[in-house]
Amino acid sequence: MEDIGVSGTDSVSMSLWSELKRRILGCRICLPGLFTAGIATVAIVYGLATDDMVTALGALLLVPSAVLLFAIGLRRENTALSDRGTN
């Protein structure tokens, strides 16, 4: 029988996914950014589905805030990781 295992590319993608998940869930500022992005996405989809342009356009105002929160959080997390590596 053939051995069913994880190939090289699968293990790389799994380790990349687990590293990304660890960094995002370990980042306190990233979680509100993800939450805001989720709310904005749902509101945009709802606004477009119900032909309510005010809701869709209003939800677009949340997107820059979510992106900034997420970027600031990842920068802080990367800075903290590099500081831990030097000590």
pLDDT by residue for the chain (87 residues), tens only, comes to 444 544 555 666 778 788 777 766 667 777 888 888 899 999 999 999 999 999 999 999 999 988 898 888 888 777 766 666 665
Number of domains, the chain: 1
- Predicted pLDDT of residue 1: 46
- Predicted pLDDT of residue 85: 61
Note whether residue 9 is domain-resident.
Answer: no
Q: Which domain holds residue 48?
A: 28-86
Task: Say if residue 69 is exposed, middle or buried (CB neighbours under 10 Å; 0-12, 13-18, 19+).
Answer: buried
- Predicted pLDDT of residue 69: 86
Which pTM was predicted?
Answer: 0.60
Note whether residue 43 is domain-resident.
Answer: yes
Vertex 14, ends 10 and 15: CA angle to 5°? 120
Note whether residue 69 is domain-resident.
Answer: yes
Q: Token pair of 39, please? A: 């709310």
- Predicted pLDDT of residue 17: 80
- Predicted pLDDT of residue 7: 54
Note whether residue 2 is domain-resident.
Answer: no
- Predicted pLDDT of residue 78: 72
Measured distance CA(19)–CA(17) in Å, rounded: 5
Strand segments, DSSP code E, in 1-87 are none
